[in-house]
Structure 1
């Protein structure tokens, strides 16, 4: 490729990424927020399909100004593959590098990191899903909230008291308010007014194993969703569910219960779209690749159908992946098969105007982040077969959007 043509192409590419430079006929740039109509997401009046990725580490890395280039690099390489949405953490409770030292006490360096993430996402035309607390101990999570309440004299005995204790719920609501009303130091825009954020997530992978009925989680989502929407009427909201069904459809689950109900939990009016995660290699230990594939096919079909017919809301496959820790050629092939299954199911639904609105693979790393590898990372900057599948899905979903 000649240098002059390359430079011209680069300038045009950057212009396309820069919001508002090219106006598509029929688009309304007065409203850049993602909306919901029926079983579809809309952006500027057109169906919006979210092909993206998880990068939980963005705020953490951006809290150190010398490492912010990794954040920019991740957004850049993702945009090069047509990826337009990222899911990341807006929490880190106590422990090392906290966002929240203690209830209501915040680490400004970490908050500045989140400010930077949002401002960079805007530059690269990337929408964000921001999760507000973890189910697990990593980065504090619900266990840390319970510990904070115990130091205040609350008599609590289980992590699941997170969902019912009044003081814990007050702590969590305060965090919601602190994040949503934060003014970004780089853009000057309050988070709740920033269309770069597509949606808030109440909790990463909500689980309440002490109540298999799902009633505890149902009450908590109802209360917290209502509270969040009382502060922010601009953004979409999702609960953070993995997709496990309640007792009425237990046969569709792997062989365990987590106290959630995909159908009932997502029928709560303040929840705008459903989410599903998928890890057959974790959920079906000891099973064959064929058994895991068969499970995944049913898992995808059940959730798309239930979102469309029963819940009547869009569904986002917010996490999926398969470990390739040994990085053998066979494991790469298996990963490609899993990605192809997920992408094919989403495209089939989307092309017919169905409820499947996209997916976010787990997970994207920037160069020089080897210590973050967990076997599920997808190196987009390498010329891999998986990266090709990801770029092709972006192109296919974009063609649907343009046709409509």
Structure 2
């Protein structure tokens, strides 16, 4: 188990770009060893070559890999993205309770599901795809903090809120034990420990954490500091991000108007303060103007995305001194409010803003679209899924961004 005190660690790992991304850092440049990705100030590097994240989300890879019938979809998702020039996939390395759970109960893990995660990691490596592995969920999907609290209640703890996940010492130890099981896991396919595997670009503490029971932000801040210390004590090499959405909080009242609404500033998160925790390497934000803004005027969405991204890029560079990862961005076409044309324009805006800042020497990091699916996974679509085989114009957009990244070098 990890101690509660944050530790400061310097990273000296190196890594190479995916050969699928048409940049100077390609497979022919690499030896048998595939070194780690490293952070140098506000930039990421692969050995001595810049590394830009051109990524995507497909959260269900481990769950699909746990079933022989759906396992081919895992390979297809990774291979299709690699062919389009993408080089990083963000996916869940957790499934807490319920069907095909990785963590069936505190301190108990399903070996077959763990081997499914082994398969995801090995397939990513086979296609020269890096991974960002998220370790928990703020939401109930795949268990998350609600499941941890249910386990605590079953054990007789006096818990009254899902936010007790962040404060109760027993629950915090449940989480730490799970993180240790994942980070120190020996891959049964590659025989390499996850903590030593350069396929993993970064760990993510929790997807979209919020703690509205404490809008001061103190509760979540203490949890971030403790868990960042915990992860770094077990794995001082890999990069680490929080997974927050990017809402500004009480530490920067002058920036509260940048948030999409008043609630966002009282969600218990605090973009600047959270990322000042020792051990955090990447500033993470999400971009969902389609659900955050109450209107559907396209011009207003573009204005918001420009202001939201530019403010966070400037703050990551000037106040935090670290790269920025737009860990999720997308537009739902499910209810018909927006169509594919707007979604692609939205994507182009996100890519343009980041690339302009990167070319200007302001910031490193990159963007990961939510989300890419192969054919045969349509039933998992939440409205945001892009199926490349059925979306030739979006495929061209992604490939064009790859070419733009190549020109940037």
Same fold (TM over 0.5): yes
Q: Pick from 390, 397, 400: which aligns with 2:398?
A: 390
For residues 138-176 of structure 1, the C-alpha deviation after alignment (integer angstroms, 9 at most, x for no partner) is 111001111111111211100001111000000000001
1: CA distance between counterparts of 2:283 and 2:213? Answer: 23
Structure 1 window deviating more from structure 2 (335-344 vs 382-391): it is 382-391
**Paired residue secondary structure (2:229):** helix
Pick aligned residue for 1:251 from 240, 246, 257: 257
3-state DSSP class of the match of 2:404? Answer: helix
**Partner of residue 222, structure 2:** 219
For 2:75, the equivalent position in structure 1 comes to 72
Q: Structure 2, unaligned stretches of length 5 or more?
A: 1-18
Distance 2:154 2:391 in 1: 51
Compared with structure 1, are the counterparts of its residues 29 and 144 closer, same or farther at alpha carbon in structure 2 (3 Å cutoff)?
same
2:327 to 318, 332, 352: 318
Candidates 302, 319, 322, aligned match of 2:311: 302
Deviation at 1:60, TM superposition (A): 0.3
Give runs of aligned pairs for residues 126-165 of structure 1, distance below 5 A. Answer: 126-165=129-168
Q: SS of the residue aligned with 1:51?
A: strand
CA contact (8 A) 1:267 1:311 kept: yes
Shift of 1:322: 0.3
Q: Map residues 268-287 of structure 1 onto 2, 5 A cutoff.
A: 268-287=277-296
2:133 paired with 1:125: no
Q: 36, 41, 48: which one pairs with 1:38?
A: 41
**Structure 1 segments unaligned to the other structure (5+ residues):** 1-12
8 Å CA contact 2:44, 2:364 repeated in 1: no
Cα deviation 1:343-390 (Å, max 9, x = unaligned): 000110111222142100011112111211111011112353222111
1: CA distance, partners of 2:74 / 2:296:
37
Contact 2:91 2:134 in 1 (8 A): yes
Q: Which residue of 2 aligns with 1:205?
A: 208
Q: Specify the alignment match of 2:11 in structure 1.
A: none
Q: Answer yes or no: is 1:185 the counterpart of 2:188.
A: yes
Aligned residue pairs: how many?
383
Q: Within 1, Cα distance between the matches of 2:390 and 2:364? A: 29
Alpha-carbon distance, 1:20 to partner: 8.4
RMSD value over aligned CA atoms? 1.9
Residue 275 of structure 1 aligns to a residue whose secondary structure is strand
- How big is the shift at 1:97? 1.4
TM-score by length of 1: 0.91
Task: Give a deviation string over 1:252-306, Cα, whole Å, max 9, x none.
Answer: 1111221111111111120001011010010112342222221111001111111
Are 2:385 and 1:377 aligned?
A: yes
Q: Give the deviation of 1:326 after TM superposition.
A: 5.3
Given the alignment, which residue of 339, 347, 356 partners 1:339?
A: 347
- After TM superposition, give the deviation of residue 67 of structure 1 in Å: 2.0
Shift of the 115–285 alpha-carbon distance from structure 1 to 2, 3 Å rule, reads same
In the aligned structure 2, how far is the partner of 1:225 from the partner of 1:21? 32
Distance 1:308 1:107, change over 3 A: same
Matched residues in 2 for 1:30 and 1:234: separation? 16
Deviations, residues 27-59 of structure 1 (Å, cap 9, x unaligned): x87661111001001111211100010000100
User: Who is 1:9 aligned against?
Assistant: none
Aligned to 1:7: none
Matches within 5 A, 1:353-364: 353-364=361-372
The counterpart of 1:96, out of the listed 84, 94, 99, is 99
Residue 32 (structure 2) pairs with residue 23 (structure 1): no
- 1:112 maps to what in 2? 115
1:350 and 1:29 map into 2 onto residues whose CA distance is: 30
**Distance in 2, Cα, partners of 1:29 & 1:396:** 28
Counterpart in 2 of 1:87?
A: 90
